[in-house]
Amino acid sequence: MTPQNSQAHPTRWVRLTALLLLVSLAACGGGGSADGPTAGADAPSPAPAPAPAPGASPAPSMPGALSPTYTGEGTFYGATGEGNCTFDASPDNLMVAAMNGPDYAGSAVCGQFVAVTGPKGAVTVRITDQCPECKSGDLDLSESAFARIADPVAGRVPIRWHVVPGDVTGPVSYRYKEGSSRWWVAIQVRNHRLPITGLEIKPSGSADWIAVTRTDYNYFVHPSAIATGPLQVRITALGGATLIDTLPEPSDGVVVAGAGQFP
């Protein structure tokens, strides 16, 4: 072996050892700080945020809104103002809509006003019916209301909507359902500016308010006998505002005007 060869071998070993060390450090993620990979390192990209699904957004997005903003699809049908909410037909005002089944909430949305925006424009409608086959976030509008937000030829369009105070005139009113008497009382609230969340009665001679259950056909029904004579009614709106009115003794199909309206 020549002297040149005897001197070259140690140098190769040093270089080989250094190379192996660099490969080992790279495999173990060496070269980064304790807080994570260095800039430009081949780190995993964060997962993209999921696309918003139909339903409620986290918070109201419009001034004056009483609810979050919902998204879904808008359709139309031959609405008359009647429907599952058991309101009378309203041929002079067909700015009405049917709420999808999941958001109908056992008639809790009946009578509330909804501002709807579609591809062509916006409209405010009153909820008078239910659309059982519609998905959460969907609305089935009257033909004339749909024409305000989209071309009817489209048939089905993306929409967004939220609950708003209604543009009503006069006081709230109450309707005793057919068959109502002191033995079985069913009361519907009408012409309310804000969504109704509860109804209580205080029969003649009673010192306590009685909470009354709301049915899916939008009447508050007290199935037990009450005292003869007038009764007080206290209604609560979304947000907690209340109104108290005195109604005559329950009787078949009578409509009674209240004394005030929600602010």
- Kindly report the CATH number assigned to the domain that includes residue 216: 2.60.40.760
Together in a domain, 206 and 141: no
Residue 27 is assigned to a structural domain of this protein: no
In a domain, residue 53? The reply is no
Residues of the chain with pLDDT under 50: 1-54, 58-59
8-state DSSP, 184: B
- Residue 260's Cβ-count burial label (10 Å; 0-12, 13-18, 19+) is exposed
The answer to whether the CB of 106 falls within 8 A of the CB of 214 is: yes
Range of the structural domain that residue 211 is part of: 173-257
Kindly report, residue by residue over 206-223, the tens digit of the pLDDT: 999 999 999 999 999 999
pLDDT at 64: 83
CA gap 201, 244 in Å, rounded? 9
Q: What pLDDT is recorded for position 10?
A: 40
| Total domains, the chain | 2
Tell me, yes or no, whether 43 lies in a domain. no
d(CA 54, CA 72): 5
Residue 17 counted as domain residue: no
111 contacts 126 by C-beta, under 8 angstroms: yes
Q: What is the residue type of 57?
A: S
pLDDT of residue 14: 36
C-alpha span between 142 and 121 (Å, rounded): 15
Model pTM above 0.85: no
Cα distance between residue 108 and residue 103, in whole Å: 9
13 inside domain:
no
DSSP assignment letter at 147:
H
186 forms bridges with which residues in the sheet? Answer: 221
Do 149 and 111 share a structural domain? yes
Say whether both 75 and 117 belong to one domain.
yes
Q: What is the pLDDT of residues 158-191, one digit of tens each?
A: 999 999 999 999 999 999 999 999 999 999 999 9
